[in-house]
Structure 1
């Protein structure tokens, strides 16, 4: 069991038969009354998100999550197909569960998939990915890094704000945590 006050972003717990992942957690002290925890949660199986408050002293059962290195192969129907690099076993994950992660995935990219018992529940991305700019407005002559930026659509469909000097077909590094441009890739 784990106290609500000890929950952090990325942790998973069980409550009322549901498997719940913490997206955001923060302490909140209202003007009157006791401290509460504000939580943004996602039901791992259904994908629905909710925001709630709970008392810090409440306890929940921490879920034991295992992970395994795999390679993303392709999309088929409404499933992402992944392959274990050691056993060549393939895993299918519904796109409804990993729709955000798919925006960062290229064929043959190595990632980790998460298991709850024998159930595949999600994908863990690397900290950064390198993607090719598929579409962006033309660059502005004399643009600097400190400019306001412009939107760019990546080869996966992800839209990121990039500096004005970035052009179509350039490779850029993107943070998967923030979904933001980091630098040109080499």
Structure 2
């Protein structure tokens, strides 16, 4: 397996430490006036999401972890299991809800996602950054309320709750940023 030194750390680099897969969140090469240089690193355990900060000698060696990303189409869920279809083999891949992440609440059936896995074990589902969703429930806007940046709660077709401007009504299709849960605008159809 290829190795990587701490001096080669960059954001997004994955490496193995103590049998666990870590990804570099931030790094800084420090060369103090006296003493040896070091690499101040903030890294995240990809399985648990825990973030730690540590300083390494630039020559410290780690095994490079190869994270595989594969396209898969979200099909349906049954209880706690969510099923994804491999578009090449048509195999169904069942996943527990705990690997999905917060942004998955905006994903509807038949959406292409990326499954991130390490040594055959899926640890994360990467969803599209933007989803076009239909507003299924919201209160009607009050006529004459023209204050800017006033929002009201709305429920979209996946069941997720978001804040939308007052002029949005039920049945409209809107674009949502899945990373922040923010309303971006009406769909241009």
TM band (smaller chain): 0.7 to 0.9
Question: 5 Å matches for 1:1-186?
Answer: 1=4, 3=6, 6-8=9-11, 12-21=14-23, 25=26, 36-38=40-42, 41-44=44-47, 48-55=48-55, 60-142=62-144, 146-186=148-188
TM superposition shift of 1:154: 1.9
C-alpha distance 140-79 of structure 1, shift in aligned 2 (>3 A): same
TM superposition shift of 1:74: 0.6
Q: Is the 8 A contact 1:4 1:55 kept in 2?
A: no
CA distance in 2, matches of 1:54, 1:121: 23
Q: Is the 8 A contact 2:105 2:159 kept in 1?
A: yes
Bigger radius of gyration: 2
> Considering only aligned residues, what root-mean-square deviation do their CA atoms show, in Å?
3.1
Q: Which runs of 5+ in 2 are unaligned?
A: 31-37
2:170 match: secondary structure: coil
The more displaced of 133-142 and 100-109 is 133-142
Q: Which runs of 5+ in 1 are unaligned?
A: none
Q: TM-score, normalised by structure 2?
A: 0.74
CA distance in 2, matches of 1:92, 1:182: 32
CA distance in 1, matches of 2:16, 2:146: 48
1:103 match: secondary structure: helix
1:96 match: secondary structure: helix
Q: Is the 8 A contact 2:101 2:125 kept in 1?
A: no
Q: Is the 8 A contact 2:9 2:27 kept in 1?
A: no
TM superposition shift of 1:124: 1.6
C-alpha distance 164-65 of structure 1, shift in aligned 2 (>3 A): same
Q: TM-score, normalised by structure 1?
A: 0.75
C-alpha distance 2-176 of structure 1, shift in aligned 2 (>3 A): farther
2:66 match: secondary structure: coil
TM superposition shift of 1:26: 7.2
TM superposition shift of 1:147: 1.8
TM superposition shift of 1:135: 2.5
